[in-house]
């Protein structure tokens, strides 16, 4: 009699494990709970057992706590992680900390992005957390694969993943008299993480709850720009503007939109993930005079 195969493919990170453990080996989410999928097709990030462990080469990661989870790395000799400023919680004194210079410093400076990444090398323990409640998401990156992450979401990544950034090309300009103001609903840049040869691990912190869905080729969905967490590079995005009837207030030469929607339209194929506690965008209601490629609708 042949033994029944018990492999399990994680719906969250696609890692295939032997199905005997309680947590996914790639991202640490519980596999002994029923997957929660909304009727609209969003998969809710499964809960994680407190103190869940993820093996990364010779090092491992333990995720501790549930309100504001902590990512506690046990780095082996020769292994390392890099991270942005302001997420370091504690570290052992023997951890070696250095800075990792980034290209395009001027542009990053003007875009309000961190100028340097900090890198930590083992052996030893080092731990990270964000400063608001939410979920900690571990994303394994397979060799040759990449993930695009909205700015300021990233927590830490293993040293075998490369870090790059690209212009979002999602913007619009408003005018008030002679004054023009350019807005970047997604931020000017997005982070891209790539694992060239060996599997890497990326950690991000979602505010509130996190949901993921797989878009089929040419399938589209509209999301609030600040709700986007990450996407596969195959997912294309552009601006979508919606103007409800009666959403504009005009008096003489003065006119302002007190009610309109600025969306991000995402085109499949690929994964997209969103967070439930997104920041509201500042909207000055002025007329939009130019914008990046966009679709529009009135209703």
Choices 7-15, 46-54, 187-195, 216-224; region in contact with another protein by CB under 8 A: 46-54
Q: From its phi and psi, is residue 160 left (phi > 0), alpha (psi between -120 and 50) or beta?
A: alpha
**Both tokens assigned to 136:** 């900690």
Q: Report CA 270 to chain centroid distance, whole Å.
A: 14
Spatial contact of 42 and 212, defined as CB atoms under 8 Å apart: yes
Give yes or no for residue 15 binding another protein (CB under 8 A): no
Give yes or no for residue 62 binding another protein (CB under 8 A): yes
Give yes or no for residue 109 binding another protein (CB under 8 A): yes
Using the rule CB under 8 A, which residue among 1, 67, 178, 246 binds another protein? 67
How far apart CA 287 and CA 121 sit, in angstroms, is 50
Using the rule CB under 8 A, which residue among 11, 68, 145, 241 binds another protein? 68
Bridge partners, 280 (sequence order): none
Question: Angle at CA 125, nearest 5°, toward 121 and 126?
Answer: 75
Binding to another protein, residues 113-172 (CB under 8 A): 115-116, 118, 125, 127, 129-133
Cα dihedral: 106, 108, 109, 110 (round 10):
90
Count of residues in contact with another protein, rule CB under 8 A: 38
What are the phi and psi torsion angles at 225 (to 5°)? Answer: -55, -40
We find the least distance from the C-beta atom of residue 165 to another protein, in angstroms, to be 16
Give yes or no for residue 105 binding another protein (CB under 8 A): yes
Choices 12-20, 92-100, 161-169, 176-184; region in contact with another protein by CB under 8 A: 92-100
Q: Is 229 helix (H, G, I), strand (E, B) or coil?
A: strand
Give yes or no for residue 98 binding another protein (CB under 8 A): yes
Give the residues lining the site for another protein (CB under 8 A): 50-51, 53, 60, 62, 64-70, 72, 74, 85-86, 88-93, 97-99, 101, 105, 109, 115-116, 118, 125, 127, 129-133
């Amino acid at each position: 009699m042949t033994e029944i195969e018990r492999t399990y493919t994680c719906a969250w990170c696609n890692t295939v494990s032997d199905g005997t453990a309680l947590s996914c080996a790639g991202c640490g989410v519980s596999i002994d709970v029923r997957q929660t999928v909304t009727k609209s097709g969003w998969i809710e990030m499964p809960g994680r057992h407190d103190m869940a462990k993820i093996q990364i080469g010779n090092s491992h990661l333990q995720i501790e706590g549930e309100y504001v989870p902590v990512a506690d790395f046990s780095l082996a000799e020769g292994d390392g992680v890099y991270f942005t400023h302001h997420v370091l919680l504690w570290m052992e004194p023997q951890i070696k900390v250095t800075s990792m210079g980034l290209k395009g410093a001027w542009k990053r400076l003007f875009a309000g992005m961190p100028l340097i990444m900090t890198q930590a090398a083992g052996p030893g323990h080092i731990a990270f957390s964000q400063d608001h409640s939410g979920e900690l998401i571990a994303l394994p990156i397979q060799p040759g694969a990449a993930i695009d992450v909205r700015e300021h979401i990233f927590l830490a990544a293993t040293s075998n993943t490369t870090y790059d950034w690209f212009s979002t090309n999602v913007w619009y300009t408003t005018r008030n008299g002679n004054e023009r103001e350019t807005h970047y609903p997604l931020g000017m840049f997005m982070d891209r993480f790539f694992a060239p040869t060996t599997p890497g691990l990326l950690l991000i912190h979602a505010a509130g709850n996190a949901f993921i869905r797989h878009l089929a080729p040419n399938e589209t969905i509209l999301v609030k720009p600040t709700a986007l967490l990450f996407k596969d590079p195959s997912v294309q995005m552009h601006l979508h503007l919606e103007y409800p009837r009666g959403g504009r207030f005009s008096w003489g030469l003065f006119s302002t939109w007190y009610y309109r929607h600025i969306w991000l339209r995402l085109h499949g194929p690929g994964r997209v993930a969103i967070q439930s506690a997104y920041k509201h965008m500042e909207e000055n209601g002025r007329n939009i005079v130019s914008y990046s490629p966009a679709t529009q609708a009135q209703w």
